Chain A
Amino acid sequence: MMCLWIQNRLLPYRCGELPSSITTMIRRHLRSCKHCQAAMNALETAWSTGRSLIASNAEPPVHLDRKVMDVIRVLPAPRDDNNNIAKMTRILAAVFLLLLGGILVIVAIRLHMLRP
């Protein structure tokens, strides 16, 4: 249980991102636990492999800017006030219609009950 807890924190421990109390606890545990030492070594190797696979200086193709902006220019503004007002109007209209429907149902029930 303790080993799993430690192993889930080995990377942030290695990067010096944990609070000092946890760092001290992990350091002590690593000194005494062969299993976690092996896990740390395996992680170091895997990290090195991952870095060599991911590292890239690839640049996007030059036409990408135009391609993206051509799409963006035809889209409505994300915070379009007119669009928001239209949305709010539709919501209010829906609420009004629901209320009206409810009132009509209640009135109909009352009228039905009053009938001799």
Chain B
Amino acid sequence: MALPSDEMLAERAANGDCASFEVLLQRYKSSVYRICLRTAGNREDAEDWTQECFVRAYQQLGKYSGDRPFSPWFYRVITNTCINLAKKRDSQQRHVHQGALTEDLVSLADGPEACSIKNDDIAKAQQAMQSLSPTLRTALVVWLQEQITFKELGQVLGVPLTTAATRVRRALLQLEKVLTVEEIRR
């Protein structure tokens, strides 16, 4: 038996079928969590942000129409939620606690190659990520994490292809610049 499509599940969830939403949660939770993790920069916020993203998506399902593809609509809700949460946090807390950040990021590193990276390198890399504006950071994270095309990224962000590509380009160059400056300082 074929598995129900995302669109079908979203339609059912919109009418209050929590079991259908739970299936969508299973399908998308890893992806959403990774986006939140890279955008937030620490596990604690990433967990809260992931929860917030799914709650927002559920609440907005009433506006979703099943004849449109679910994934771009869903990621649009996720990116908007992440941008808003990042802006809110940035305005509340300008300085991230260095010690806690390093500890968190060490545990974020995956795979054997990551083990060779020094803790302060990881912290600096993540600080560079956090130096990007929420809009640029989210565009970069979604594009690299989800490995989508710029056309798809444009649909997710609600902008033309070239605008999406420009945001990613600016984010990449800014990231490289911050890391190079850090390298020179050392």
Residues of A in contact with B (beta carbons under 8 Å apart): 7-12, 15, 17, 42-43, 45-47, 49-51, 53-61, 64-65, 67-69, 71-73, 75-80
Contacts and interface: CB of A to CB of B under 8 A. Distances in A.
Given A8-B169, A50-B144, A72-B21, A60 B58 contact: no
Contacts of A72: 18, 21-22, 54-55, 58
Contact of A56 (B14, B145, B179): B145
Interface of B: 13-16, 18, 21-22, 25-26, 29-30, 33-34, 37-38, 47, 50-51, 54-55, 58-63, 108, 110-111, 125-126, 128-129, 140-141, 144-145, 149-151, 161-162, 165-166, 168-169, 171-173, 175-176, 179
A27 B106 CA distance: 42
Contacts of B141: 54
Nearest to A81: B15
Given A11-B165, A11-B169, A69-B18, A46 B140 contact: no
Contact of A68 (B51, B129, B179): B51
Which secondary structure dominates where chain B touches chain A?
A: helix
B110 A10 contact: no
Contacts of B145: 54, 56
B176 A58 contact: no
Contact of B14 (A53, A64, A77): A77
Given A9-B162, A57-B111, A68 B151 contact: no
B29 A65 contact: yes
